[in-house]
Amino acid sequence: MKFEVPRAANDNLLSLREMREKLKEDGNLVNKVREWIPSKRRELLDTMTASSVLNGDDMADETTEAFALLQGLEAYRVEADKRLQAAEDKPEDLPAFSEAQNSVAVLRDEFDRAQEHLG
């Protein structure tokens, strides 16, 4: 007797596999943002210091805005990381997966905005 997996069950297995792959990709974005934020902070501090020393420029407003943008991005990253972890812990939980996807979408938008604004 040949054992066959019902089509619907097979589709669900593929869906779980696809969901896990998507969570992995999203995790890569979260890690990329995690690494980008400190490097951008150092770059801003170096630029601010050099400009202040060389030109006597006061970049306080611009720097404050840039650091606030990075701080907000870090908050989105932490939230996305938390949601991804919850979805990875229970891959069959569709609401957790949906929340993770939404959180990562917001992070992606904010990361794009930060890159555009800060270079």
User: Which of residues 62 and 102 earns the better pLDDT score?
Assistant: 102
pLDDT score of 85 = 95
Q: Where are the domains of the chain?
A: 23-118
Q: pTM for the full model?
A: 0.77
pLDDT score of 49 = 74
Residue 69's alpha-carbon distances to 7, 37, 39, 86, in angstroms, are: 48, 10, 14, 26
- pLDDT tens digits, residue range 77-99? 999 999 999 999 987 888 899 99
- pLDDT tens digits, residue range 6-47? 444 455 554 778 888 999 999 999 999 999 999 999 998 887
Query: Vertex 28, ends 25 and 32: CA angle to 5°?
Result: 145
pLDDT score of 11 = 52
Record the tokens describing residue 105, joined without a space.
């979408």
CB 26 within 8 A of CB 104: yes
pLDDT band at 59 (very low <50, low <70, confident <90, very high): low
